[in-house]
Amino acid sequence: MDKLFICSRCDNYASQMTTMGRWTCFHHPGEYDVEKGYACCGKKVRPLNYNRPYIALGAHEQYVKPPKGCTPCDCGTELARIHIDEIKSTLDQIDIDKWQGFDFPYLYRSKDSFENRATQ
């Protein structure tokens, strides 16, 4: 049985087997620049709120989660394509009809890697 983990991007419980190829999560393929935001979409991380009245009232922020990604992907940290041979033991659990239109023998974990498959 595939183990559940908490996706660092969407904070949902997921497993590699149940999310593989569904692209239900989102990520930013572009680099982040403090002045311009993400190169892929221009979204910026909200700055920490350090105004004096806010701190005087005892509130504080230690971490601000980045904005939702602009490119669909699978949950998890690894977004590179995977070869079918790497998941031979679980192939009988995959519904092949849902994979129509994908290039064999690779499965793509993000829309970005699928669109740029010729350069990989």
| 40 in any annotated domain | no
pLDDT tens for 21-80 read 788 889 888 888 888 889 999 998 877 666 777 777 777 666 677 788 898 888 887 776
**pLDDT higher than 60, residue 120:** no
- Domain range spanning residue 97? 5-30+65-119
Considering only CA atoms, which of 120, 46, 107 is closest in space to residue 73? 107
Task: Measure the CA–CA gap between 83 and 89, rounded to whole angstroms.
Answer: 13
Question: What pLDDT, on the 0 to 100 scale, is given for residue 1?
Answer: 44
pLDDT tens for 70-105 read 988 888 877 767 776 776 666 666 666 666 665 555
Task: Measure the CA–CA gap between 40 and 117, rounded to whole angstroms.
Answer: 18
Look-up of token digits 């679980």: 90
| 87 in any annotated domain | yes
Overall number of domains in the chain? 1
